[in-house]
């Protein structure tokens, strides 16, 4: 009897403990080894109580967790991080979470106090993280750094990650531009000249008409309504319209220029120059392009690794600048730039900062471009980027930098952007006119902006 | 539960009482930490306009509920959820029952068939949805390829607003048949063989036996399966999430309540409104379950 009781008690204890262990395991996202901070860093790690308390064991086995969302960039970034580890002795491990789940993961991490140590930030999401002080304040560290020169980065990208002009929460990583991908074989077959910098949007549409076959085997263009940055935003700004006013208080969807621009693409969809909407909805633009279904797509420079390594694309396609607007003569490229940020309650703030500092250094930025990962944000480091995929005319992406417009954002970008994308479907399918859709979006967006 | 029974002064009774609680403690802790407490937190949350990261909540009273009642997409999502359940539940039960009866007989390769039907249950739901998504693809999918070779036109399986819920439910049925079948098999094995022998002597056909012996005697299991299946079907999320995106023209007429909850709570970080939506779902499920429990007297046979 006694033995039974003891056994039962032990069993119960084991179960309770394992339960506790399970929930503990979910939350400890703080990287592989957690025994002590590195002593190899250039800065002393004695400022924060966090690192002091974990410094006692004295081993140098820190492994930072680095969260990103783009698999295509993982191999290149791993090389750069290896350089960093060689220099400083700080190890870092990249974890890729796809874009759709990345922000859910990050938000859960922030709520539960277990953000990754270092991670990518985006203009859509930075506001909440800044407002609630979830990120490591980099302002002073940047000022006292002799490696990092913020004046070399585009001012607009720095501003995205600057909270109310006082606190800098991230260091710019890259910038992106938009290019026009075209299928040379289809152009040759249809007897249409390749796109060049003389193209206007009217030429673009005329070419799309010629490239569309009646039997539905080939279409001129694929552009989903959700492709705003690489798609219809560019024409909106090309016509001197806008999405959000400079003071971020009112929507620009009710401007005649904006409506005209959206109608341009919506009617290309309605007139059958794009695949039927169902096909467009079920397949991504680049997949249709890679399958030889469409002759043209508009894609950002971040898509290079995907497209330039595709055999069909290598064989048949090339890149040109976007068309310009005939009236205004503008050829804007909506650009954005990611930032490197660190968790506000990381156990290793100095190590995390060391990594961010290195990522923003000229050396790492140069390497990022040279490897063709993305266009680096650091002034003067992008020229070698064109050499990463010599068979393609990557120069087109750099030429697009002459008229850069920052991707529209506000504190609640995701809410109005998703709402606009949802409504835009009706314009693409032709169930509503572009004007009706735009006016609806403007009303709702103004209401959302008023709440900010 | 026996919490209210008076504990008698004897040592033995007290010790049994304590040990009884000790044994269910791990489950109780899990239930409280993972289910009960979150339910009340969600109710609480639904009266707030949420800030990010669980901070900065502003009390707004019933505003979230008012907004919900005026929101056409919520009602559409409720209808969508019902449509899904109406297709998924009866078919998954009927097919599973027939399969269970067939596989309950002595036949060659019985366990092989049982394993095959149960396999979808073992596969990860996300992986299942991805495979079906490719089968259904209107442009490159296998199903349309087959239709085309047979001379039929392509079908927009998962982008036709009027029919998509059916094809989504087909995936649900396919995934859950094996699980229901195993439960029915367990129920069938409880039925004494004597009944069938007696019926055979009386000259009852196999169909008559099925309707007059099998169905009544398996009705408790059918009741259990239908209650749990309806609850699960009302909570459908993964298949829809994996197979469609917001560009899809059928999305508005297919998205479920749980999807809306996910979207507001986790994508647009509007936790308060998301919580209100999930409270509606909780209420609907409770009402349906209560009705089912009331109705069981009419058709469920407990010996």
Read out DSSP for A345-390? T-S-HHHHHHHHHHHTSHHHHHHHHHTTSSEESSTT--GGGGGSST
The CATH number of residue A262's host domain is 3.40.190.10
Residue B18's pLDDT band (cuts 50, 70, 90):
very high
**B215 vs B301: CA distance, rounded Å:** 9
Q: Does A110 touch chain B (CB under 8 A)?
A: yes
CB A106 within 8 A of CB A138: no
Q: Find out whether A347 and A34 touch, Cβ atoms under 8 Å.
A: yes
- Answer yes or no: is pLDDT of A132 > 50: yes
- CA A38 to chain centroid, in Å, comes to 31
- CATH number of the domain enclosing B187: 1.10.3720.10
Question: Does B50 fall in a domain?
Answer: no
Q: Which of A 214-253 lie inside 8 A of B, CB atoms?
A: 224-226
Which residue is closest to B16 within chain A, CA to CA? Answer: A5
Please check whether residues A149 and A255 belong to one and the same domain. no
Is any Cβ of chain B less than 8 angstroms from the Cβ of A280?
Answer: yes
A252 and A401 in one domain?
Answer: yes
Query: Which residue among A104, A225, A281 places its CB closest to the CB of B159?
Result: A281
Measured between beta carbons, the chain B residues lying within 8 angstroms of A415 are 268, 270
Do the Cβ atoms of A208 and A295 come closer than 8 Å? yes
Residues A239 and A119 grouped into a single domain: no
Domain match, A327 and A229 both: yes
Q: How far is A12 from chain B (nearest CA, A)?
A: 7
User: Which residue of A6, A104, A216, A278 to mutate against B (max B Cβ within 10 Å)?
Assistant: A278
For chain A, the average pLDDT equals 86
Enter the tokens of residue A242.
Answer: 């806008």
Of B111, B132, B128, nearest to B120 (Cα)? B128
Task: Read off the pLDDT of residues A95-129 as tens digits, 9 standing for 90 and up.
Answer: 999 988 899 899 889 988 889 999 999 998 998 89
The verdict on A151 and A222 lying in the same domain is no
For tokens 């909540």, what's the residue? Answer: B57
Tokens 């709440």 sit on residue: A451
- Nearest CA to B255 out of B136, B138, B82 is that of B82
Percent of chain A at pLDDT above 90?
Answer: 70
The answer, yes or no, to whether residue A158 has pLDDT greater than 90, is yes
**Residues contacting A372, CB < 8 A, separation 6+:** A76, A304, A305, A385, A387, A388, A389
Same domain, B179 and B208: yes
Within-domain flag for A240: yes
Q: Which residue has the tokens 């974990």?
A: A54
What's the whole-number mean pLDDT along residues B48-70?
87
**H/E segment holding residue A404:** strand A404-406
Same domain, A288 and A141: no
Of A355, A380, A405, the residue at which a domain comes to its end is A380
Residues of A with Cβ-Cβ distance to B56 under 8 angstroms: 132
Establish if A60 belongs to a structural domain.
yes
At A42, list the tokens: 């250039």
- A11 lies in a domain? no
CB contact under 8 A, A132 and B137: no
Query: Across the interface, do A107 and B158 touch by the CB < 8 Å criterion?
Result: no
Q: Is the pLDDT of residue A411 over 90?
A: no
pLDDT category, A47, cuts 50, 70, 90?
Answer: very low
Claim to verify: residue A264 and residue A306 sit in the same structural domain: yes
The whole domain housing B138 covers: 65-299
Q: Supply the mean pLDDT for chain B.
A: 90
Confirm or reject contact between A114 and chain B (CB < 8 A).
Answer: no
CA distance A449 to B80: 30
Q: Residue B124 belongs to what H/E stretch?
A: none
| Chain A residues touching residue B29 (CB < 8 angstroms) | 16, 19
Residues A268 and A92: their CA atoms lie apart, in Å, by 47
- Residue A146: CB atoms within 10 A of its CB come to 7
- Looking up tokens 């999305």, which residue turns up? B251
In whole angstroms, give the CA distance from residue A73 to residue A215: 39
Cβ of B56 within 8 Å of Cβ of A132? The answer is yes
| CA distance linking residue B293 with residue B300, whole number of Å | 10
Contact A79, A366 (CB under 8 A): no
Contact A289, A317 (CB under 8 A): yes
A chain contacts of residue B134, beta-carbon cutoff 8 Å? none
Chain B, nearest residue to A430 by Cα: B249
| Inter-chain touch B247–A425, beta carbons under 8 Å | yes
The CA-atom distances, in angstroms, between A237 and each of A225, A255, A264, A399 are: 16, 11, 13, 17
Record: contact B137-A275, CB cut-off 8 A:
no
The Cα angle at residue A390 between residues A386 and A391, in degrees rounded to 5: 130
Using CA atoms, how far apart are residues A80 and A365, in angstroms rounded to an integer?
9
Q: Is residue A297 part of a domain?
A: yes
Q: Are residues A232 and A143 in the same domain?
A: no
* Residues B147, B34 share a domain: no
What total number of domains does chain A contain? 2
Residue A124 lies in a domain: yes
pLDDT of residue A61 exceeding 80: no
For chain B, what is the domain count? 2
CB A293 within 8 A of CB A221: no
* Average pLDDT for A166-182: 94
Residue of A nearest to B264 (CA): A415
Q: What's the CA dihedral at B134, B136, B140, B142 to 10 degrees?
A: 90
When mean pLDDT is compared across A20-34, A209-223, A262-276, A361-375, the lowest value belongs to A20-34
Q: Residue A5 — very low, low, confident or very high, per pLDDT cuts 50/70/90?
A: low
Name which of B20, B29, B53 to mutate to probe chain A: the one with the most chain A Cβ atoms within 10 A of its Cβ.
B53
Alpha carbon of A119: minimum distance to chain B alpha carbons (Å): 17
Distance in angstroms (rounded) separating the CA atoms of residues A370 and A382? 8
| b/e map A298-323, b = 16+ CB within 10 Å | bbbbbbbbbbbebeebeebbbbbbbb
Structural domain contains residue A4: no
Q: B24 with B73, same domain?
A: no
Give yes or no for residue A45 having a pLDDT over 70.
Answer: no
Taking only the tens place, the pLDDT of each residue in B157-186 is: 998 999 999 999 999 999 999 999 999 999
- Phi, psi torsion values for A324, nearest 5 degrees: -105, 160
Q: What is the largest CA-CA distance in chain B?
A: 82
Predicted confidence at residue A34, as pLDDT, reads: 34
Could you tell me if A308 and A290 are in contact, meaning their C-beta atoms sit under 8 angstroms apart? no
Residue A358 lies in a domain: yes
B227 in a domain, yes or no? yes
Q: What is the ipTM of this complex?
A: 0.76
Based on the fold, state whether residues A329 and A203 are members of the same structural domain.
yes
Q: Do B268 and A414 touch (CB under 8 A)?
A: yes
What average pLDDT score do residues A199-214 get? 95
Query: Rounded CA gap, B244 and B232, in Å?
Result: 20
The domain of A231 spans 178-335+393-451
Residue A190 shares a structural domain with residue A303: yes
Helix axes B215-234, B164-190, angle to 10 degrees: 140
For residue A236, what pLDDT is reported? 96
Confidence check: pLDDT of A379 > 70: yes
* B67 confidence band (pLDDT: 50, 70, 90): very high
* A249 has pLDDT over 60: yes
Q: Do A356 and A331 share a structural domain?
A: no
- Tell me whether A131 touches chain B (CB under 8 Å): yes
Q: What is the pLDDT of residues B81-139, one digit of tens each?
A: 999 999 999 999 999 999 999 898 888 888 888 888 888 888 888 899 999 999 999 88
What is the predicted pLDDT for the residue at B40?
92
Please give the pLDDT value at position A17. 46
**Tokens in use for A311?**
């055999």
Task: Tell which residue, B174, B187, B188, B185, has the closest CA to residue B92.
Answer: B174
Residue pLDDT, tens place only, B187-219: 999 899 899 999 999 988 888 988 999 999 999
- Give domain status of residue A13, yes or no: no
Q: Is the pLDDT of residue A164 over 60?
A: yes
pLDDT band for position B279 (50/70/90)?
A: very high
CB-based contact, A107 to chain B, within 8 Å? yes
Residue B58 falls inside a structural domain: no
Percent of chain A with pLDDT over 70: 87
CA distances, B199 to each of B23, B187, B195, B203, B205 (Å): 46, 19, 6, 6, 8
In a domain, B52, yes or no: no
Q: In this structure, is residue B56 part of a structural domain?
A: no
Q: Does one domain contain both B10 and B122?
A: no
Instruction: Please indicate, yes or no, whether residues B224 and B184 belong to a single structural domain of this protein.
Output: yes
Residues B34 and B103 in one domain: no
Q: Which residues contact A131 (CB under 8 A, 6 or more apart)?
A: A163, A411, B52
- pLDDT at residue A25 tops 50: no
Q: Which two tokens stand for residue A80?
A: 């750069």
What pLDDT is recorded for position A3? Answer: 52
pLDDT in tens, A284-328: 999 999 999 999 999 999 888 889 999 999 999 999 999 999 999
What does the pLDDT read at residue A385?
86
Residue B59 within a domain? no
Let me know if residue B203 belongs to a domain: yes
Of A193-197, A313-317, B246-250, the least confident: B246-250
Residues in chain B closer than 8 A to A224 (CB atoms)? 247
Whole-angstrom distance, CA of residue A270 vs CA of residue A265: 9
Determine contact: A411 vs chain B, CB below 8 A: no
**Do residues B235 and B164 share a domain?**
yes
Residues B173 and B140 in one domain: yes
Q: Do A12 and B26 touch (CB under 8 A)?
A: yes
Which of B22, B51, B137 shows the shortest C-beta gap to A282? B137
- Residue A29 pLDDT greater than 90, yes or no: no
Tell which wins on pLDDT, A302 or B77.
B77
Domain match, B148 and B245 both: yes
Quote the pLDDT of residue A27. 35
What are the tokens at A74? 């993982």
Written as six digits, the tokens of B243 are 């197979």
């Amino acid at each position: 009897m006694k033995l039974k009781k003891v056994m039962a008690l032990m069993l119960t204890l084991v179960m309770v403990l394992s339960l506790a262990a399970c929930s503990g395991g979910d939350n400890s996202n703080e990287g592989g080894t957690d025994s002590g901070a590195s002593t190899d860093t250039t800065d002393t790690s004695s400022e924060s109580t966090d690192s002091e308390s974990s410094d006692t064991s004295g081993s140098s086995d820190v492994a930072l967790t680095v969260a990103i969302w783009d698999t295509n960039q993982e191999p290149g970034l791993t090389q750069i991080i290896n350089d960093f580890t060689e220099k400083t002795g700080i190890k870092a491990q990249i974890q890729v979470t796809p874009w759709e789940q990345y922000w859910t993961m990050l938000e859960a991490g922030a709520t539960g106090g277990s953000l990754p140590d270092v991670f990518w930030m985006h203009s859509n999401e930075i506001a909440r993280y800044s407002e609630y002080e979830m990120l490591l304040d980099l302002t002073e560290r940047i000022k006292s750094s002799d490696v990092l020169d913020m004046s070399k980065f585009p001012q607009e990208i720095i501003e995205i990650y600057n909270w109310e002009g006082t606190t800098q929460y991230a260091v710019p990583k890259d910038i992106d531009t938009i290019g026009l991908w075209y299928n040379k074989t289809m152009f040759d077959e249809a007897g249409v000249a390749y796109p060049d910098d003389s193209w206007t949007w009217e030429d673009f549409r005329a070419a799309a008409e010629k490239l569309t076959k009646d039997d539905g085997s080939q279409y001129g263009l694929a552009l989903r309504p959700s492709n705003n940055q690489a798609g219809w935003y560019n024409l909106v700004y090309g016509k001197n319209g806008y999405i959000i006013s400079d003071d971020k208080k009112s929507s620009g969807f009710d401007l005649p220029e904006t409506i005209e621009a959206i109608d341009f693409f919506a009617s290309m969809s309605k007139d059958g120059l794009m695949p039927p909407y169902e096909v467009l909805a079920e397949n991504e633009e680049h997949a249709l392009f890679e399958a030889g279904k469409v002759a043209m797509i508009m894609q950002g420079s971040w898509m290079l690794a995907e497209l330039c390594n595709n055999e069909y694309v290598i064989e048949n396609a090339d890149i040109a600048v976007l068309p310009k607007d005939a009236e205004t003569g503008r050829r804007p490229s909506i650009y954005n730039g990611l930032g490197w940020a660190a968790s506000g309650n990381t156990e290793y703030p100095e190590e995390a900062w060391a990594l961010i500092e290195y990522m923003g250094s000229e050396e790492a930025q140069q390497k990022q471009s040279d490897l063709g990962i993305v266009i680096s944000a650091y002034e003067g480091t992008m020229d070698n980027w064109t050499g990463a995929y010599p068979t393609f005319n990557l120069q087109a992406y750099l030429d697009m930098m002459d008229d850069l417009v920052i991707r529209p954002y506000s504190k609640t970008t995701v809410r109005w952007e998703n709402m606009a994308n949802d409504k835009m479907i009706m314009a693409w399918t032709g169930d509503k006119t572009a004007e009706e859709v735009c006016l609806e979006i403007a009303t709702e967006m103004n209401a959302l902006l008023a709440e900010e | 539960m026996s919490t209210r029974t008076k504990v008698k002064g004897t040592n033995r009774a007290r010790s049994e009482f304590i040990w009884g609680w000790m044994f269910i403690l791990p489950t109780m802790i899990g239930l409280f930490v993972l289910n009960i407490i979150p339910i009340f937190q969600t109710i609480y949350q639904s009266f707030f306009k949420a800030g990010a990261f669980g901070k900065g909540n502003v009390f707004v009273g019933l505003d979230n509920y008012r907004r919900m009642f005026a929101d056409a997409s919520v009602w559409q999502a409720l209808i969508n959820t019902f449509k899904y359940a109406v297709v998924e539940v009866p078919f998954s039960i009927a097919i599973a029952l027939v399969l269970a009866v067939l596989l309950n007989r002595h036949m060659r390769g019985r366990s092989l068939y049982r394993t095959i039907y149960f396999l979808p249950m073992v596969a990860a739901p996300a992986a299942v949805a991805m495979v079906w998504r490719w089968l259904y693809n209107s442009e490159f999918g296998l199903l349309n390829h087959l239709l085309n070779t047979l001379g039929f036109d392509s079908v927009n399986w998962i982008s036709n607003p009027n029919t998509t819920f059916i094809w989504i439910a087909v995936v649900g049925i396919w995934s859950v048949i094996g699980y229901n079948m195993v439960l029915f098999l367990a129920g069938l094995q409880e039925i004494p063989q004597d009944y069938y022998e007696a019926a055979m002597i009386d000259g009852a056909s196999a169909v008559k036996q099925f309707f007059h012996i099998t169905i009544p005697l398996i009705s408790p299991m059918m009741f259990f399966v239908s209650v749990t299946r309806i609850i699960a079907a009302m909570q459908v999320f993964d298949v829809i999430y994996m197979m469609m995106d917001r560009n899809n023209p059928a999305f508005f007429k297919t998205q479920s309540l749980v999807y809306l909850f996910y979207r507001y709570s986790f994508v647009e970080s509007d936790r308060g409104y998301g919580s209100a939506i999930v409270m509606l779902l909780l209420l609907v499920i409770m009402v349906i379950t209560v009705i089912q429990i009331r109705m069981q007297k009419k058709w469920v046979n407990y010996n």
